[in-house]
Chains A and B, each alone.
Chain A
Amino acid sequence: DGGITQSPKYLFRKEGQNVTLSCEQNLNHDAMYWYRQDPGQGLRLIYYSQIVNDFQKGDIAEGYSVSREKKESFPLTVTSAQKNPTAFYLCASSISGQSNSPLHFGNGTRLTVT
């Protein structure tokens, strides 16, 4: 079955440490996205990529970095510069990145930083 795999499901880190969240898709989708979800705030876009080796900042990119070296993979690094990193992180993909393409989501990674 095609889909998006996010790992791990739960992640715990100490403050000051960088951490990388994995996202892999086998849907052959061109576009991939990272969202952050906090209670009562909906989803906010961190970064997105419409093609390999290219990505753009979303609304809340500060303290995060990404790479897109392969079509299937779009890892997100939460750096120590992110002031409030504890959140639920969702990776998504779409066929083309055009505005009428629905998103397909992974099951998320819940990051807790103490």
Chain B
Amino acid sequence: AQSVTQLDSQVPVFEEAPVELRCNYSSSVSVYLFWYVQYPNQGLQLLLKYLSGSTLVKGINGFEAEFNKSQTSFHLRKPSVHISDTAEYFCAVSPLYREKLTFGTGTRLTIIP
């Protein structure tokens, strides 16, 4: 079985400052990794995914994430945030050969003007 930990339930950041949202996972097998974003009262949208290849993955809206196998982490970063980035962000992990997606508990990103 796999698990996902998002240690920060809330992250306040000033507008135009950088941000990092942390995600750690545990799994006995190799995994695929995903970040989703949820705007208020909406469903989730895919931000980016790591399937294989380069460990630095670029996504939509200027976000990127780095897969670190030794630290079992997949932290999400953005160099300069905007008010429109206010949302909840979910990390998710799925084992390679079994369809079983597990979500973290989410991190609420609040941008301070």
Q: Which of A's residues lie within 8 Å of B, judged by CB? A: 4, 6, 31, 40-45, 50, 90, 92, 97-100, 102-108, 110
CA distance A45 to B102 in the complex (A): 9
> Which residue in A44, A50, A102, A108 is a CB contact (below 8 Å) of B43?
A108
Are A40 and B105 in touch, CB under 8 angstroms?
yes
A105 to chain B: closest CB distance in Å? 3
Contacts of B36 in A (CB 8 A): 103, 105
CA distance A79 to B103 in the complex (A): 25
Are A99 and B45 in touch, CB under 8 angstroms?
no
**Mask: chain B, 75-113; 1 = CB below 8 Å from A; 0 = not:** 000000000000000100011111111011110000000
CA distance A41 to B49 in the complex (A): 22
Are B105 and A102 in touch, CB under 8 angstroms?
no
Task: Give how many A-B residue pairs fall within 8 Å (CB-CB).
Answer: 58
Contacts of A102 in B (CB 8 A): 34, 46, 49
Are A107 and B94 in touch, CB under 8 angstroms?
no
> Which residue in A40, A41, A90, A97 is a CB contact (below 8 Å) of B44?
A90
Are B99 and A99 in touch, CB under 8 angstroms?
yes
CA distance A42 to B91 in the complex (A): 10
Contacts of B99 in A (CB 8 A): 31, 50, 97-99
CA distance A92 to B94 in the complex (A): 16
Are A42 and B105 in touch, CB under 8 angstroms?
yes
Contacts of A104 in B (CB 8 A): 46
Are A103 and B101 in touch, CB under 8 angstroms?
yes
Are B104 and A100 in touch, CB under 8 angstroms?
no
Name the residue on B nearest A10 (C-beta).
B41
17 pairs, CB–CB < 8 Å, chain A vs chain B: A4-B43, A40-B106, A41-B105, A43-B44, A43-B90, A90-B44, A92-B44, A97-B99, A98-B99, A99-B96, A100-B49, A102-B34, A103-B44, A103-B46, A107-B42, A108-B41, A108-B43
Further 4 A-B residue pairs, CB within 8 A, beyond A100-B94, A103-B101: A40-B9, A44-B103, A90-B44, A99-B94
